[in-house]
Amino acid sequence: MKFGVVTFPGSNCDQDMIYVLRNVMGCETVELWHKDTDLQGVDFVVLPGGFSYGDYLRSGAIARFSPIMESIIEHANNGGYVLGVCNGFQVLTESHLLPGALLHNESHKFICKNVYLKPQTGESLVTRGLDMDKAYQIPIAHGEGNYFADEATIKKLNENNQILFRYCDADGNITPEANPNGAVENIAGITNEGRNVFGMMPHPERAADANLGNLDGKAMFESILNLVNG
């Protein structure tokens, strides 16, 4: 499994993601620049967190027009894997590779803290290897993480098991109090209908090294690799 991590102007989690994929998970990982059009034969593209183009319009709205996105959209439409984390999730919604949008947090404040996630489906690479009853502690760091979609879209996501994670408390209870940003139905991550494009606001790469005292995020990368390489 060969990974490619894209860097946009303003990306700041690209090196974290590269470190986890290359050094922790032992995967061949290449660095892709936003002006590239050649994906270098990668199997799995990752759009990392940060503030692409300063998020001066809407988060991810300008990055969506970077030259590399045409290649990524083609890659995804051909069944190739794509994961967007935080700002990368925003880019995927702006690119219409995933439905919905990410709005300002209800508090209108930037939030940086550990939260808990509960897997919602076993029908995706990211979640299939996870314990459906466990609350996974994963950090968030965003100002626009409030996932929104219209009622018909939410209904479809639920019916098709396309919701990857919901925010919960430490005991796995999905409650309004456990929702850090106002996301509709506590949604923290989704996948597309083809189950090859994934988006999530929390940062699993920030919880994937023993030195950080948290390996909950590593389980998500293990889930991906175990299914693809198994």
d(CA 228, CA 99): 25
In what helix (H) or strand (E) does residue 112 lie, and over which residues does it extend?
strand 111-119
d(CA 185, CA 154): 9
Alpha helices, DSSP H only, in 37-160?
Answer: 67-77, 87-94, 151-159
**Of the residues 27, 75, 144, 205, which is catalytic?**
205
**Of the residues 34, 75, 142, 203, which is catalytic?**
203
* Residue 86 annotated in active site: yes
Q: How far is CA 167 from the centre of its chain?
A: 14
d(CA 49, CA 87): 4
d(CA 121, CA 82): 18
Residue 92 Cα distances to 13, 76, 133, 209, angstroms:
16, 11, 28, 26
Give residue 109's identity as a one-letter amino acid code: K
For 113, the 3-state DSSP assignment is strand
* Residue 203 annotated in active site: yes
**Of the residues 34, 86, 94, 142, which is catalytic?**
86
Give residue 4's identity as a one-letter amino acid code: G
d(CA 230, CA 224): 10
* φ/ψ of residue 16, rounded to 5: -60, -45
- Which amino acids are annotated catalytic? 86, 203, 205
